[in-house]
Chain A
């Protein structure tokens, strides 16, 4: 799982600020998934992206959250005007383009704390 790189590992934001979380997938992977883990809970799916496309954002809150995966560079999860309830660990996973294996490896997560 060391191949999926997330940064920063820890992020502290004041209420109302913006948070940007980055995910660099494993080499050769063109699919990225974002999950959120609230304290003491399991992981919940947020969004599934391929390069330059959002495939499934059914788990994404309707407001303040957005995600992108540009042709070049990492995938970005952006949270605008953060609130205390956004405090959580955000995990990214990546998978290859050929649909025969599902993703099994995650990045180490970004722990967002809103103060």
Chain B
């Protein structure tokens, strides 16, 4: 069975601070994908990143960066110089790799980020 744990229920920071959202996962699959989604107050799900389990390189996209560590089963997300527009609920998710029958996502419970001006 797959499981995703986001231990931080809510984080509050002041604008321009850096913030890291933690994600720990459990899976017996050797191949899998990890995701991060953003859910702003308007409610839609915004795709941020997908990472293949074979690729442990860290990734940076503007103010966003991701740290994937297989050894600790973690896929943490850092926002540098946070902005008020970053305020949202962030979800980490996991799915089996390709060539498997079931590709549904297993989501964590989410971390609500509040960025104060």
Which A residues contact B (CB, under 8 angstroms)?
1, 31, 33, 35, 41-45, 48, 55-56, 59, 89, 91, 93, 95, 99-106, 108-109, 111
Contact A56 B104 (CB under 8 A): yes
Known pairs A33-B104, A102-B33, A102-B103 / 17 extra A-B pairs, C-beta < 8 Å: A1-B47, A35-B107, A42-B109, A43-B91, A43-B93, A45-B106, A55-B101, A59-B104, A91-B45, A95-B103, A99-B98, A100-B99, A102-B95, A103-B103, A104-B35, A108-B43, A109-B44
Contact B47 A48 (CB under 8 A): no
Complex CA gap A95/B95 in Å reads: 13
A98: nearest chain-B partner, CB-CB: B98
B102 within 8 Å of A by Cβ?
A: yes
- Partner of B105 from the list A31, A41, A45, A55 (CB cut-off 8 Å) is A45
Complex CA gap A91/B100 in Å reads: 22
B63 within 8 Å of A by Cβ?
A: no
Chain A residues lying within 8 Å of B91, measured Cβ to Cβ, are: 42-43
Chain A residues lying within 8 Å of B108, measured Cβ to Cβ, are: 42
Question: Given A42-B108, A42-B110, is A106 in contact with B44 using a C-beta cutoff of 8 Å?
Answer: yes
Contact B102 A56 (CB under 8 A): yes
Contact B45 A1 (CB under 8 A): yes
B14 within 8 Å of A by Cβ?
A: no
Give the distance to chain A from B38, nearest Cβ to Cβ, in Å.
11
Contact B35 A48 (CB under 8 A): no
